[in-house]
């Protein structure tokens, strides 16, 4: 067995004419890791996945899947990956089981092995009872689960999912999260790379996430680390029983508070770096000075705060055509 990483991407670039959809993107994914690609519409996530899954040739840079180059060793790469694309790819007129059989045969599976694999995967995604149902009659959530079963039928090393939960209800979304756990329990080495616009999903599922915007990879780390490193990652609101004096106001800033706002003489709010207990230290300082703290709330940063801090709030809309 090769010890190559599931994914190694180095300065991968894709241009469409003058437009740069992905600009020297580098990252790697470890065995067993769930890696999330986040980014506004048009950031270049799907283009990146299409290159790494051999569907689109890169303009420059390299990508390797379990050591195989995506340009020079296309078919080796294709055998090692499973994909669930942003577009719906189920054959509507086949049954659930037939959809998987077609896929299995494409990978050289047949006979008893194929039957057993199909049963195993359909049970994993909770569709075994519906094996003879025509795919057209499945709900959106079931269809997505069928696509995932199909993506892992040939036991890939890496599973790519482009927005696997977009458009699903909260129950179906949770069911898919649970399925990832199920898949990884069965195959702890399976690397999963997914894109999503749902920040709580990325936070909940991914070991690491990368934020991509306008083709550039802006940051990459675990959700916890990204939140902790956010300079304004904690928002503190504090109210005292009497007006806060001039000297104590200066004291608050010296404790590491930033963006300090006095909403009234007795109320102050400020941002602070998470994990430094700035809110509690400021409250202590004021108590030592004889104030009574009437109210204290400390709100922690979310991955969405991190996302906005890197990408801003402006809509990604091109100007209307002339």
Ligand X SMILES: Nc1ncnc2c1ncn2[C@@H]1O[C@H](COP(=O)(O)OP(=O)(O)OP(=O)(O)O)[C@@H](O)[C@H]1O
Binding test (CB under 6 A) with ligand X, winner from 9, 33, 47, 154? 47
The Cα–Cα gap between 167 and 178 comes to 17
Give which of Mg ion, ligand X, none residue 42 binds (C-beta under 5 to 8 Å, depending on kind): ligand X
Contact partners, residue 71, CB within 8 Å, separation at least 6: 54, 57, 58, 62
Phi, psi values for residue 216, rounded to 5°: -105, 140
Binding test (CB under 6 A) with ligand X, winner from 2, 41, 75, 171? 41
Restricted to residues 29-48, the positions that interact with Mg ion (CB under 5 A) are 45-46
Using CB under 6 A as the binding rule, whether residue 311 contacts ligand X is answered as no
Choices 40-48, 103-111, 221-229, 231-239 (CB under 6 A): range interacting with ligand X: 40-48
Using CB under 6 A as the binding rule, whether residue 45 contacts ligand X is answered as yes
Give which of Mg ion, ligand X, none residue 274 binds (C-beta under 5 to 8 Å, depending on kind): none
> What mask of x and - would describe binding to Mg ion in positions 45 to 64, judged by CB under 5 A?
xx------------------
Residue with tokens 């004889």: 290
Residue (of 40, 47, 29, 49) closest to 199 by Cα position: 40
Using CB under 6 A as the binding rule, whether residue 42 contacts ligand X is answered as yes
**Minimum distance of ligand X from residue 47's CB (angstroms):** 3
β-bridge mates for residue 110, sequence order = none
**Minimum distance of ligand X from residue 321's CB (angstroms):** 13
Phi, psi values for residue 294, rounded to 5°: -80, -35
Using CB under 6 A as the binding rule, whether residue 38 contacts ligand X is answered as no
Binding test (CB under 6 A) with ligand X, winner from 1, 2, 3, 16? 16
Helices 111-124, 170-186: inter-axial angle, 10-degree rounding: 130
Nearer to ligand X, 124 or 311 (CB): 311
Give which of Mg ion, ligand X, none residue 43 binds (C-beta under 5 to 8 Å, depending on kind): ligand X
Asked if 268 contacts 245 with a C-beta cutoff of 8 angstroms, the reply is no
Contact partners, residue 233, CB within 8 Å, separation at least 6: 227, 271, 272, 273, 274, 300, 301, 305, 306
β-bridge mates for residue 69, sequence order = 64
Using CB under 6 A as the binding rule, whether residue 315 contacts ligand X is answered as no
For residue 205, give the H/E element and its range: helix 199-205
Using CB under 6 A as the binding rule, whether residue 257 contacts ligand X is answered as no
**Minimum distance of ligand X from residue 244's CB (angstroms):** 45
The Cα–Cα gap between 233 and 265 comes to 25
Binding test (CB under 6 A) with ligand X, winner from 6, 36, 44, 82? 44
Residue (of 160, 56, 144, 146) closest to 101 by Cα position: 146
Asked if 220 contacts 209 with a C-beta cutoff of 8 angstroms, the reply is yes
**Minimum distance of ligand X from residue 199's CB (angstroms):** 13
Footprint on this chain of ligand X (rule: CB under 6 A): 16, 21, 39, 41-47
Footprint on this chain of Mg ion (rule: CB under 5 A): 45-46
């Amino acid at each position: 067995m090769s010890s190559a990483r599931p994914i190694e991407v180095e300065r991968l670039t894709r241009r469409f004419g003058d437009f740069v959809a992905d600009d020297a993107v580098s990252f790697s994914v470890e065995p067993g890791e769930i890696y999330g690609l986040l980014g506004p519409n048009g950031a270049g996530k799907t283009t990146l996945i299409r290159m790494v899954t051999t569907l689109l040739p890169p303009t420059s840079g390299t990508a390797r899947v379990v050591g195989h180059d995506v340009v020079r060793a296309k078919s080796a790469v294709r055998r090692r990956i499973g994909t669930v694309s942003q577009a719906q790819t189920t054959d509507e007129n086949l049954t659930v089981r037939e959809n998987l059989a077609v896929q299995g045969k494409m990978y050289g599976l047949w006979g008893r092995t194929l039957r057993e694999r199909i049963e195993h995967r359909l049970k994993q995604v909770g569709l075994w009872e519906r094996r003879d149902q025509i795919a057209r009659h499945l709900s959106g959530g079931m269809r997505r689960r069928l696509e995932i079963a199909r993506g892992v039928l040939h036991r890939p090393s890496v599973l790519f999912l482009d927005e696997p939960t977009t458009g699903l209800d909260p129950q179906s979304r949770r069911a898919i999260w649970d399925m990832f756990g199920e898949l990884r329990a069965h195959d702890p080495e399976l690397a999963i790379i997914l894109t999503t616009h749902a920040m709580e999903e990325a936070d909940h599922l991914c070991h690491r996430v990368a934020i991509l915007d306008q083709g550039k990879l802006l940051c990459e780390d675990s959700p916890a680390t990204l939140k902790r490193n956010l300079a304004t990652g904690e928002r503190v609101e504090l109210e005292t029983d009497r007006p806060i004096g001039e000297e104590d106001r200066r004291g608050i800033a010296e404790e590491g508070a930033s963006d300090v706002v006095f909403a009234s003489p007795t109320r102050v709010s400020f941002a602070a770096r998470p994990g430094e207990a700035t809110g509690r230290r400021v409250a202590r300082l004021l108590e030592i000075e004889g104030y009574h703290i009437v109210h204290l709330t400390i709100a922690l940063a979310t991955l969405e705060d991190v996302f906005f801090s890197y990408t801003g709030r402006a809509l990604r809309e091109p100007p209307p055509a002339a």
